[in-house]
Structure 1
Amino acid sequence: MDESASAPPPARRGGNGRAGRAAYDLDAVLDVAVRAFNERGYDATSMGALAERLGTSKSAIYYHVSGKAELLRLALERALGNLERLLEQPALADAAALDRLESVIRGAVHVLVEELPFVTLLLRLRGNTEVEREALARRREFDHAVAKLVEEAMADGALRSDVDARTATRLLFGMVNSLVEWYRPGGGLTADQVADAVVVMAFEGLRR
């Protein structure tokens, strides 16, 4: 009898996992890291703690990234990149400022709903590291671009002009960003329904 025919298959490793466990890809590592950063705080989360959550070794994580700072950078890029792309929609290039603004607000709701842990991490940054400070600077640039859309819509007469544009922008995104505190995926509200509610609440209060 050929003993090799009845021998158990070798343990799965894939180059970055412990024997007996499926290897993790970068997306899976990133998901676990973001959950840990949100729950424990970035500074309080070690690579060892991440490895323990994954049930793997630290070297398995280093197979994908150079360290914890790169995980943070990738996570913040996922949130910021999606938000920044809302300002670059070719189909809206010639649209009125109010239409572009509404599209950005709707899109921001979708980004938040679809990337909830990643946007939550972005909103909780304290600026303690260079990666965080760079992300906060990009977020300010995004806010300034939205404020410019508000100013343009005011100049067009589509929005009331007795409210400061920057203040209006902060209030708009205060409403959108509050979703991280109460929105729960699978809770009955779709991203479209939430976006509709935000637009009605925001623009019915601002529109002439």
Structure 2
Amino acid sequence: MRRGRASETGVGRGRPGYAREDVLLAAVDAFNAAGYEATSMGALAVRLGVTKSALYHHVSSKEELLREALDRALSALGGVIDDVRSLEGSDMERLRLLVRGTTLALCAEAPYVTLLLRLRGNSEVERSAMDRRREYTRIVAGLVAGAQADGDLRADVDPATVGRLLFGMVNSLVEWYRPDGELSAEELAALTGKMAFGGLVPRS
């Protein structure tokens, strides 16, 4: 984990500490490993090697860290959707770009997206994030419906189901993708698009 200068940290004034980015990532790793409810501020302080009072001096609660982490994940995914919707072109072209872009966003922000996908809706922060996720899925379903109307996608499948399946395929990457793995993020994004729109059966 990258160390920050004490003046940048946020944790441990007057002695070496962690930058805010490090604190957030440590919290996300803990939330993903043990669950948000099971992770206390005391456990986070131990994980960072600081006192709990030092942690509270700069972070008001673990909910603050959860909100910041979820905003990071949702902003990455939402930014892709905003960019795609603003582009000229067909809904099919937008859909292809969206699958590629969300794959890249997930690879770049994997710990944060993992946290987003594991929410249980036990707090207002979680429920709000889950509502935003559902809105993203509805937008994808709208693009699918548009591509169907244009004759670019088969029309005998429900757009909402297709939207969930597309996001489900991309989201599954959090379970196995590793930055140092065999495929780069760009290669993985290209393969995801091929799988989504070309399938595995060779065309005759």
Same-fold call, TM cutoff 0.5: yes
**1:119-198 equivalence runs, <5 A:** 119-198=113-192
Query: Residue 17 of structure 1: which of 7, 12, 23 is its match?
Result: 12
Find the counterpart in structure 1 of residue 64 from structure 2: 70
Q: Which residue of 1 aligns with 2:51?
A: 57
Hey, what's the Cα distance between the residues in 2 that align with 1:132 and 1:191? Answer: 28
Contact map agreement 2:91 2:144 (CA 8 A) in 1: yes
Q: 11, 24, 34: which one pairs with 1:40?
A: 34
Q: Is the 8 A contact 1:16 1:59 kept in 2?
A: no
How far has the Cα of 1:91 moved from its partner? Answer: 8.8
Cα displacement string for residues 32-87 of structure 1 (whole angstroms, at most 9, x for unaligned residues): 00000000100000000000010112233233322110100000000001111112
Q: How far off its partner does 1:185 sit?
A: 1.6
Alignment RMSD, CA only?
A: 1.8
Q: Deviations over 1:131-161 (max 9, x none)?
A: 0000000000011011101111111111111
| 1:101 to 1:91, Cα distance in 2 relative to 1, 3 A | closer
**Residues 181, 106 of structure 1: CA spacing in aligned structure 2 closer, same or farther, 3 A cutoff?**
same
Q: TM-score, normalised on structure 1? A: 0.87
Structure 2: tracts of 5 or more residues without a match: 200-204
Separation in 1 of the partners of 2:60 and 2:198? 48
Letter in 2 for 1:152: G
Aligned to 1:3: none
TM-score, normalized by length of structure 2?
0.89
Query: Is 2:95 aligned against 1:113?
Result: no
Larger CA Rg, structure 1 vs 2: 1
- Equivalent pair of 1:18/1:56 in contact (CA under 8 Å): no
> 1:29 and 2:23 equivalent?
yes
Distance 1:95-1:59 versus aligned 2 partners, 3 A rule: farther
Task: Label 1:154 to 1:128 Cα distance change in 2 as closer, same or farther (>3 A).
Answer: same
| C-alpha distance in 1 between matches for 2:47 and 2:127 | 27
Separation (CA, whole Å) in 2 of partners of 1:195 and 1:13: 38
* Shift of residue 90, structure 1, vs aligned partner: 7.1
Preserved contact between residue 95 and residue 140 of structure 2 (Cα < 8 Å) = yes
CA distance in 2, matches of 1:40, 1:50: 11
Contact 2:6–2:18 (Cα < 8 Å) also in 1: no
Percent of aligned pairs with the same residue?
Answer: 56
> What count of residue pairs does the alignment treat as equivalent?
193
CA contact (8 A) 2:84 2:98 kept: no
